[in-house]
Chains A and B, each alone.
Chain A
Amino acid sequence: GQQVMQIPQYQHVQEGEDFTTYCNSSTTLSNIQWYKQRPGGHPVFLIQLVKSGEVKKQKRLTFQFGEAKKNSSLHITATQTTDVGTYFCALIQGAQKLVFGQGTRLTINP
């Protein structure tokens, strides 16, 4: 089946530093979604990307869909303690089944 690789698995930064997580697929994607799960919480939808090369911003968060629609990234500028959590990408696999990546767990040193 389609392989989803999300890297890094863990990332620890100082507050104020930037953070990026990457999601890579072995096949071309129709779309990709990003979710955030706070510690002890549940995944919450952040955004969906559909178009090749698409870039979307939500305040300090920048989401990008690769030109070949095989990869995506989430970049956080100047992290804050409220950014702590695990970030998941989710993509449609084969017969349109939503598959989640392994997630990147972000911790922040205040």
Chain B
Amino acid sequence: ETGVTQTPRHLVMGMTNKKSLKCEQHLGHNAMYWYKQSAKKPLELMFVYNFKEQTENNSVPSRFSPECPNSSHLFLHLHTLQPEDSALYLCASSQDLYGLRSPLHFGNGTRLTVT
């Protein structure tokens, strides 16, 4: 049990589909993150929210749309994705921004396959 729950665990979608990834943290943290992990790339930071305000958009294509309704929930809305977007999408949270004084806690991730 990580304290950070992601759903679904696996997702297969076509390029014309619209889907959403969900993340919920039960740790009382203030910052939440979306990371992308591909087979041959390090963890790529996508979006950062601090106190539900977006503080970072790391040049992510507009086909990825984040939403943070409150400090405990984070969504990633997906539409018209490309096959190269297939990856493990990890949600994380931390008490303070970027885990400077406290570490990041990751969820189990959503394994996304775009066909």
Contact = CB atoms under 8 A, between A and B. Distances in A.
A and B bound?
A: yes
A35 B108 CA distance: 14
Measured as residues with beta carbon below 8 angstroms from the partner, the interface class of chain B is 10 to 19
Interface string B73-115: 0000000000000000010000001111001111111000000
B15 interface: no
A43 B99 CA distance: 14
Interface residues of A, number: 21
A31 B100 contact: yes
Contacts of A102: 41-42
Contacts of A96: 97-98, 100
B98 A97 contact: yes
Given A88-B42, A90-B99, A90-B104, 10 more contacts: A30-B100, A31-B100, A33-B99, A33-B103, A42-B2, A42-B107, A43-B90, A43-B106, A45-B104, A97-B56
Interface of A: 30-31, 33, 35, 41-45, 48, 88, 90, 92, 96-103
